[in-house]
């Protein structure tokens, strides 16, 4: 299989209106949740400007585009928009890579309990079946869920993402039902497509550090905290899929309820074979012993000694190489081919007096991380694709429009798109490098 050079986006972050309400529509309109009080009501207006954006991808030279399908849009208007988008991509020689769920649950399902209810997993499978029937002959790679651990921790524990819950004492129904939904969706899609099917997980390697952010100062308590972080953030949504069992979660409140959630056949459904593992990587995290009042068994600490993005995340490209190698070593023959389905960085990008955007920091970041993927491949890891997050500056969840990840600058008042220096670098990279994964 040829190596895919791609870009990634998600529906709520770029599409704009015309859908039934999702939990993010409710969350952004209800209270002081977003840094700049913005919403995704218009975002990048991609639903009306998709032809322009596909032309930007074609000029960029990408061979694949990872997008997400808005479940609430499908519930309102059917699959028409996605039919047109997929056909436009194929017409430009770009492989459509579709993610079924990128955090924008229909609000009507949340009103019935959302992912806390087992029934949502079945509803998700029905939605997957519908999308498989509509697009199964044209989508080249399917991904069921995007970063379910982030949706769990940020949306259902810390409450800083939609739906804004604080389930520290009982988080595992949300985890189990997302996993079950994934497994049922895989089975539903199999009936409509021969394309590979997988999931896009977020991986953030855990480094035990002391209060000064260095591994050298870590204590035994810090190392135990890093193991707990790793179990939740890196293993919870991978071990059940690839190994058919949950990792050790005894450090977390509510862990004893997990056994009662698992019904006969659940783990078999969850562990149905997948053809691809999506790896979303941005940075490693320092983890240390929890401070007083922290309901989780670890504190997240900033790793010392690394440059930071505008988001305050450490830039550690070697950790991506190490992560890919560790996944192969951890899961062995159970590991399917990997696609790096998100990698990117936010900086304070501004247009210069001549109207250009010289985002040299992003060019440096991407160059180093692409090199890290190449090193992992040289070490024997089967990596089939690399997707930059993101094609466009977009609505960055709780950060609103204050964090720019795009290869293309977006003026949100006028919707004018301006390719940045990183766009031109990536275009040259794709044209220059022939890489069979």
The DSSP string of 219-241 is: -HHHHHHHHHHHIIIIITTTHHH
Q: How far apart are CA 22 and CA 127, in angstroms?
A: 15
Q: Which residues pair with 253 in a beta bridge?
A: none
Alpha-carbon distance 365 to 359, whole Å? 10
| CB neighbour class for 264 (10 Å; exposed up to 12, middle 13-18, buried from 19) | exposed
- Which of 147, 216, 367, 399 is catalytic? The answer is 147
Q: Determine, yes or no, domain membership for 418.
A: yes
- Identify whether 113 is part of a domain: yes
pLDDT score, position 435: 58
Judged against a pLDDT cut of 80, whether residue 393 lies above it is answered with yes
Query: pTM for the full model?
Result: 0.98
> Residue 237's domain is classified under what CATH number?
3.20.20.80
Q: pLDDT (tens digit, 9 = 90+) per residue, 417-427?
A: 999 999 999 99
Q: Which helix (H) or strand (E) holds 349?
A: none
Q: Residues 44-66: what's their mean pLDDT?
A: 98
What is the span of the domain harbouring residue 261?
4-432
Mean pLDDT is lowest, of 12-21, 238-247, 275-284, 425-434, for 425-434
Mean pLDDT, rounded, for 289-295: 97
Mean pLDDT of the chain: 97
Distance (Å, rounded) from C-alpha 359 to C-alpha 346? 10
pLDDT tens digits, residue range 72-86? Answer: 999 999 999 999 999
Q: Is residue 279 part of a domain?
A: yes
Q: Mean per-residue pLDDT for 20-47?
A: 97
Strands (E), 55-175: 64-68, 95-101, 141-146
Task: Quote the CA–CA distance of 391 and 57 in Å, as a whole number.
Answer: 8
Question: CB neighbours (10 Å) of residue 171?
Answer: 27
Look at residue 434 and tell me whether its pLDDT is greater than 80: no
Q: How many CB atoms lie within 10 A of CB 169?
A: 11
For residue 243, whether the previous peptide bond is cis, meaning omega lies within 30 degrees of 0, is no
Give CA–CA dist 175/161, Å, rounded.
Answer: 16
The answer to whether position 231 is within a domain reads yes
For 350, other C-beta atoms within 10 Å of its C-beta total: 10
pLDDT tens per residue, range 104-162 = 999 999 999 999 999 999 999 999 999 999 999 999 999 999 999 999 999 999 999 99
- pLDDT at position 187 over 70: yes
| pLDDT tens by residue, 264-280 | 999 999 999 999 999 99
- What's the confidence (pLDDT) of residue 125? 98
Q: What is the pLDDT of residues 350-370, one digit of tens each?
A: 999 999 999 999 999 999 999
Q: Return the pLDDT at 2.
A: 83
User: In this structure, how many other beta carbons lie within 10 angstroms of the beta carbon of residue 294?
Assistant: 13
Helix, strand, or coil here: 217? helix
As for how many domains the chain has, the answer is 1
In a domain, 13, yes or no: yes
Q: CA 277 to CA 183: how far, in whole Å? A: 14
Q: Is residue 61 part of a domain?
A: yes
Q: How far apart, in whole angstroms, are the C-alpha atoms of residue 97 and residue 327?
A: 22
Return the ∠ at Cα 301 (arms to 328 and 330), rounded to 5°: 10
pLDDT-based confidence at 392, cuts 50/70/90?
A: very high
DSSP H stretches of helix in 247-401: 258-261, 266-270, 317-331, 360-378
Does the annotation mark 147 as catalytic? yes
Where on the phi/psi map is residue 148: left (φ > 0), alpha (ψ -120 to 50), or beta?
Answer: alpha
| Average pLDDT value for residue range 222-245 | 98
Catalytic residue among 15, 75, 342, 396: 342
Does 78 fall in a domain?
yes
Nearest of 84, 133, 126, 88 to residue 109 by alpha carbon: 126
Average pLDDT over residues 195-202: 98
Instruction: Give residue 437's pLDDT.
Output: 41
Q: Which residues contact 328 (CB under 8 A, 6 or more apart)?
A: 335, 380, 381, 382
d(CA 242, CA 274): 8
Is residue 437 in a domain?
no
């Amino acid at each position: 299989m040829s190596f895919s050079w791609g870009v990634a986006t998600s529906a709520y972050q770029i599409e704009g209106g015309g859908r039934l309400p999702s939990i993010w529509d409710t969350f952004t309109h209800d209270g002081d949740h977003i840094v700049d009080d913005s919403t995704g009501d218009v975002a990048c207006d991609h639903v009306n400007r998709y032809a322009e954006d596909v032309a930007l991808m074609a000029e960029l030279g990408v061979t694949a585009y990872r997008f997400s399908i808005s479940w609430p849009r499908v519930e309102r208007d059917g699959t028409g928009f996605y039919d047109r988008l997929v056909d436009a991509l194929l017409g430009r020689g770009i492989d459509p890579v579709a993610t079924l769920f990128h955090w924008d649950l229909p609000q009507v399902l949340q009103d019935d309990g959302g992912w806390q209810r087992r029934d949502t997993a079945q509803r998700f499978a029905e939605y997957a079946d519908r999308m498989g029937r509509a697009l199964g002959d044209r989508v080249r790679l399917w991904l069921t869920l995007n970063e379910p651990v982030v949706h769990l921790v940020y949306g259902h524990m810390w409450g800083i993402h939609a739906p804004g819950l604080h389930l520290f004492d009982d988080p595992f129904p949300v985890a189990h039902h997302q996993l079950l939904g994934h497994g049922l969706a895989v089975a539903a899609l199999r009936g409509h497509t021969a394309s590979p099917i997988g999931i896009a997980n977020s991986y953030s390697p855990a480094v035990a550090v002391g209060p000064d952010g260095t591994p050298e100062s870590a204590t035994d308590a810090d190392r135990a905290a890093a193991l707990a972080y790793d179990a939740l953030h890196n293993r919870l949504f991978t071990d059940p899929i690839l190994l058919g069992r949950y990792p050790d979660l005894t450090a977390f409140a509510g862990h004893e309820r997990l056994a009662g959630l698992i019904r006969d056949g659940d783990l078999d459904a969850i562990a149905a074979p997948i053809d691809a593992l999506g790896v979303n990587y941005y940075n490693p995290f320092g983890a240390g012993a929890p401070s007083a009042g922290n309901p989780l068994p670890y504190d997240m600490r900033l790793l010392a000694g690394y440059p930071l993005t505008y988001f305050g995340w450490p830039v550690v490209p070697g950790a991506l190489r190490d992560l890919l190698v560790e996944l192969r070593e951890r899961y062995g023959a159970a590991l399917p081919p990997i696609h790096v389905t998100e990698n990117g960085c936010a900086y304070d990008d501004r247009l210069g007096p001549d109207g250009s955007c010289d985002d040299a920091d992003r060019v440096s970041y991407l160059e180093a991380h692409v090199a890290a993927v190449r090193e992992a491949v040289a070490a024997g890891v089967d990596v089939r694709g690399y997707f930059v997050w993101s094609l466009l500056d977009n609505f960055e969840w709780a950060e609103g429009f204050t964090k720019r990840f795009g290869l293309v600058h977006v003026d949100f008042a006028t919707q004018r798109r301006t390719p940045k220096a990183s766009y031109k670098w990536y275009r040259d990279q794709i044209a220059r490098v022939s890489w069979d994964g």
